[in-house]
Amino acid sequence: MKLVRFFAVFLLIAGVSFAQDTGQEKKVFKAAIDKDGIQRAEITGGEYFFEPYHIIVKINVPVELTVRKKPGIVPHDIIVNDPEAGINFKEDLSKEPKVIKFTPKKTGKYPVYCSKKLLFFKSHRERGMEGLLEVIE
């Protein structure tokens, strides 16, 4: 009985949820080019979601993503891995905002995801923590 209770507390502390649907609305954000020539967007990562889910930026225009994590103890990161497109970053998320800078060199749709995984459970990406960065002309 003590072992079952310990495991239940462990799962609660670890923030493990067996539900796949986070209930988050999948929002789309189209970045505008600011007066200084930079496209800016803010991304918040939380319990197996990114908000906004889909970000649209223009090719060959510098981008600054401000990323942060919603409060909680479950660790998350944010990754896009396409060096040929000029979009290649991996950043641990924290409550304090961090700025990621890049200039997209190729149009297309690029997955944004969290690579974290706890023990034998599904990865955060498999649980729905994936978004989309779209680069347009």
Instruction: Provide the number of structural domains found in the chain.
Output: 1
Closest to 76 measured CA to CA, from 9, 4, 10, 14? 14
Return the SS3 of 135.
strand
Range of the domain at 116: 19-136
Read off the pLDDT of residues 12-65 as tens digits, 9 standing for 90 and up.
Answer: 344 443 334 445 567 899 999 999 999 999 999 998 999 999 999 999 999 999
- Tell me: pLDDT of 6 over 60: no
Task: Note the pTM of the prediction, 2 decimals.
Answer: 0.78
**Residues 55-100 pLDDT 10s:** 999 999 999 999 999 998 999 999 999 999 999 999 999 999 999 9
Encoded tokens for 36: 């200084």
How much is the mean pLDDT over the chain?
86
Q: What is the domain-level CATH number for residue 87?
A: 2.60.40.420
